[in-house]
Structure 1
Amino acid sequence: MVDRNKVEMSRVPILVILGATGSGKSRLAIELARRFTGEIISADSMQVYKSLDIITAKVTPAERQMAPHHMLDVVDPLNNFSVIDFRDMSLPIIDKLLARRKLPIVVGGTNYYIESLLWEILIDYPKDPPVQADSSAPIENRRSDGRYNVRDIRQNDDDDSDDDDGAAPVKKLKFDARLCDESNEVLHRRLMEVDPAMARKLHPNNRRKVIRSLEVFHQFGKTHSELLEAQRAAGGCGLGGPLRYPNTIILWLRCNNKVLGKRLDNRVDGMLEAGLVQELLDFHRRYNEHRIKTNTSPDYTKGIFQSIGFKEFHAYLTLPEEERASEKGKKLLQQGVDYLKLVTKRYAKRQEQWVMNRLIRRSDRQVPPVYSLDCTDVTKWDCCVLEPAAAIVSAILRGEKPEQRPLNENIENQKITDSSTNIYNYCEVCNRIFIEEDQWQAHLKGAKHMRMLKKKKKEAENTQKSKKMTNL
């Protein structure tokens, strides 16, 4: 078991490398790992799956030899793998590295995976049984830090232990799965009955989050809003609890959008040349053989099928083999290529927005210092990326403040609202519900609302006139 007190006395930080797809995160991680005797933890929701190296853009075998890598190829792609699985496997690796004074370098494009490592998440949602990981992979399935976690406290039905605050044990309730067949309106009314505070923050059409809040209530015996409030009281916010590792630094690779767009197009072309389509076809064949053998229906909504590259080629991959060489097959293949380039650029844009909204602009959240590095010109990689990054890490290891200022220091236009702080507004005139305050204010000033208001007013006046005529 790792002694966290000793770990936290160490100057060795947690280093996180963020950046859009194609920004060079893996390259920088390897270079810094070699320079500072570090080891890399891949935080990519698709690279945890074995094989499928091209579509998930894994580092090459040669690159893996340059620095130790963790959380690559740890589970069969026919299994599902959750963020909770990732967190529970990765945290012991980080703790052991810190105990050995090795630099943990967390790198990857799945931002919510990274969040699960950096912040204490005091509310874990119901999940499937643990996946069967590759026994040969250097990972552990159990946490050893003993940190407060609602799921840890209420993990078993027969757990009679008290809550962290000394309150009496809460009886867990059985969730009625038949609720999932109900309409959005019925589900929202049910949530309003058990947790009105949370119901007022969720639009009735946000079915997934409404069901999740109902599941939380039935799993923990406490309302979702109560647990979120406890999370904020513990030093967190609506997005999560306090920082798990206070000595954390984030390096954010940024690139000019036009340059990045061309780089991503070239990346997709390189994947195709490396055998992307055949890799996808081979996996589909294996998946269908397994599905027929186990007598299960096809499900393309979970696991590896959510990776960028599967959905885009789905129509082509499901064609009969003899049709793939036809004009129809060629057309579907080209559509898949074009769509893959498009969604890859969209994903890169979302990654940038995520960093801005959940890290840079937050004033209500414990956020590590975020240092920006310009990776636009690869010919200037050393002077614009590698050396500035190395200088930041070196200063932290010496217990000094880096010369470069964090991007999130004295940031303007801060964002302090999220789904846990929203309250919905109901427009009786238009019979519509709005969650975001800016959307509500825009609606009140909008032409459609004004027309409906004028129409309702005229109808009311006509009704009043009719009543007067009746009374005469």
Structure 2
Amino acid sequence: MMASVNGGATASGGRKSKTKVKVVVVMGATATGKSKLAIDLALRFGGEVINSDKIQVHDGLDVVTNKVTAAECQGVPHHLIGGVSPDADYTAADFCRDATRAVESVAERRRVPIIAGGSNRYLEALLDDGGEEPAAADAGGGAFRRRYQCCFVWVDSDLAVLDRYIGSRVDCMLDQGLVSEVRPFFRHHDGDYSRGIRRAIGVPEMDGYFRTEAAGALDGDDERRARLLAAAVDEIKANTCVLARRQLDKIHRLQGLRGWSDIHRLDVTEVLRIKVGDGARNPKAQRVAWETDVVSPAARIVGRFLAPVNGVVEGAWDNGKDRFFLMTPKEVVAVPGVCTATEWFGQQPLDMAVMSPSRGFVGLGAAAAAV
């Protein structure tokens, strides 16, 4: 039996088997690198990213909400980033409806849907009959698992290191124009920060600063301006750290629920430690740690999950030639950066199955690999 990635396995007689479409879910606290990992996996496995951050679905505040840039996307299509009015109340039911449609669209094009984001409550609503959001069940929640098989990848970090990195990231946001970006969202007669994109951390914390500024009390008083801004920034950092802990608590709770026990944890601590330490100006050290600690183990996990052949235990995406290698215990190929036959099976590579998202099944063996 052989099939293309998310193409639906077909028996030798042409009959479609009832296999579920496979979906990769990248989870984790804020600032752990979920978006970057989702992009790296999409590049390797021919995927597209579906955002599950309830704030990033709104238009605006690209710096404050840390939306991926076009350059960071590296050509990987993204769904549910922007497109929703900044003032709209985007609910879990809205997410279930939109995420289901996005996954369907990606799968229909025989690409790999990769859901990534930090809104675990919305993710639970999608997968578990609405979860803590009963209204979401009518919008696709719960039915999702009946149609799709999920692989959960959790990017985690030591909290002390994560806190330091969060502080560094907020400082970078300041350098990128956080204050000027948030200023248009300040409304003198509207202190409600419970709806739309104004819920984003980085907006309500600036309210006191902007109110004082609007009253003219900061004119000519640079010392007070700097003091108020520093206090607002400290609050942004503190609230982001609190958010990270809430997100982790949610993941730990999900691990105890049926259908969530098999969450693969990846430790990004060393990567973040390098970024906030002596390696902050050493991009090579950061890349090596990221590939070694996060991307390579994630690729092994996802490769095993996506492999559509019974018995396949490893796979890797080759961007250069638009192909996907599948390896079984008896048909193994070494793939640089992902695994070697010796590491996994203690034997020489014998054969390979080669897949392509645009061409489907290419063939077996060296001849197919040369395509």
Structure 1 regions of 5+ residues with no counterpart? 128-148, 153-235, 292-296, 404-472
Change (3 A) 1:384 1:125: closer
Aligned amino acid, residue 267 of structure 1? R
For 2:69, the equivalent position in structure 1 comes to 60
For 1:315, the equivalent position in structure 2 comes to 208
2:118 partner SS: coil
* Superposed displacement of residue 245, structure 1: 4.4
Aligned amino acid, residue 263 of structure 1? Y
For 2:250, the equivalent position in structure 1 comes to 354
1:252 partner SS: strand
* Superposed displacement of residue 328, structure 1: 4.2
The 5 A counterparts of 1:121-160 are 121=130, 149=137
* Superposed displacement of residue 58, structure 1: 0.4
* Superposed displacement of residue 66, structure 1: 2.5
Change (3 A) 1:32 1:12: farther
> Structure 2: how far apart are the matches of 1:242 and 1:282?
39
Change (3 A) 1:97 1:338: same
> Structure 1: how far apart are the matches of 2:163 and 2:312?
35
* Superposed displacement of residue 361, structure 1: 2.3
Aligned amino acid, residue 339 of structure 1? E
> Structure 2: how far apart are the matches of 1:263 and 1:64?
22
Alpha-carbon contact 2:20-2:148 (below 8 Å) kept? no
State percent identity of aligned pairs: 34
Count of residues in Structure 1 that have an aligned counterpart in Structure 2: 282
Aligned amino acid, residue 123 of structure 2? I
For 1:265, the equivalent position in structure 2 comes to 167
Of 4, 7, 27, 1:18 maps to 27
Structure 2 regions of 5+ residues with no counterpart? 1-7, 11-15, 272-285, 315-371
* Superposed displacement of residue 331, structure 1: 2.7
For 1:331, the equivalent position in structure 2 comes to 227
Aligned amino acid, residue 274 of structure 1? Q
* Superposed displacement of residue 78, structure 1: 2.3
Change (3 A) 1:108 1:41: same
Change (3 A) 1:310 1:13: same
Q: TM-score if structure 2 supplies the norm length?
A: 0.68
1:258 partner SS: helix
For 1:384, the equivalent position in structure 2 comes to 293
* Superposed displacement of residue 247, structure 1: 1.1
> Structure 1: how far apart are the matches of 2:144 and 2:105?
21
Once the two structures are superposed, residues 72-121 of structure 1 have per-residue CA deviations (whole angstroms, 9 ceiling, x without a partner) of 11112022221211221121110122232211100011111211222232
For 1:409, the equivalent position in structure 2 comes to none
1:243 partner SS: helix
Alpha-carbon contact 2:41-2:299 (below 8 Å) kept? yes
> Structure 2: how far apart are the matches of 1:261 and 1:151?
36
Change (3 A) 1:266 1:320: closer
**Residue 55 (structure 2) pairs with residue 46 (structure 1):** yes
Change (3 A) 1:26 1:126: closer
Q: TM-score if structure 1 supplies the norm length?
A: 0.54
**242-251 or 369-378: bigger deviation:** 242-251
* Superposed displacement of residue 47, structure 1: 0.6
Change (3 A) 1:27 1:120: same
Once the two structures are superposed, residues 34-91 of structure 1 have per-residue CA deviations (whole angstroms, 9 ceiling, x without a partner) of 1111000111111111121011010012123430000011112022221211221121
For 1:156, the equivalent position in structure 2 comes to none
**Residue 238 (structure 2) pairs with residue 342 (structure 1):** yes
* Superposed displacement of residue 299, structure 1: 3.0
Change (3 A) 1:101 1:311: same
For 1:454, the equivalent position in structure 2 comes to none
* Superposed displacement of residue 19, structure 1: 1.0
Alpha-carbon contact 1:41-1:69 (below 8 Å) kept? yes
Once the two structures are superposed, residues 319-348 of structure 1 have per-residue CA deviations (whole angstroms, 9 ceiling, x without a partner) of 343334534443322111111111111111
> Structure 2: how far apart are the matches of 1:246 and 1:265?
38
* Off by >6 Å, runs of 4+ in structure 1: 4-8
Change (3 A) 1:243 1:10: closer
Alpha-carbon contact 1:124-1:151 (below 8 Å) kept? no
Alpha-carbon contact 1:253-1:373 (below 8 Å) kept? yes
> Structure 2: how far apart are the matches of 1:25 and 1:66?
17
* Superposed displacement of residue 401, structure 1: 7.6
**Residue 287 (structure 2) pairs with residue 393 (structure 1):** no
Alpha-carbon contact 1:20-1:348 (below 8 Å) kept? yes
Aligned amino acid, residue 40 of structure 1? V
> Structure 1: how far apart are the matches of 2:145 and 2:100?
13
> Structure 2: how far apart are the matches of 1:122 and 1:377?
34
Change (3 A) 1:346 1:299: closer
Larger proportion of strand: 2
Say which one has the larger Rg. 1
1:371 partner SS: strand
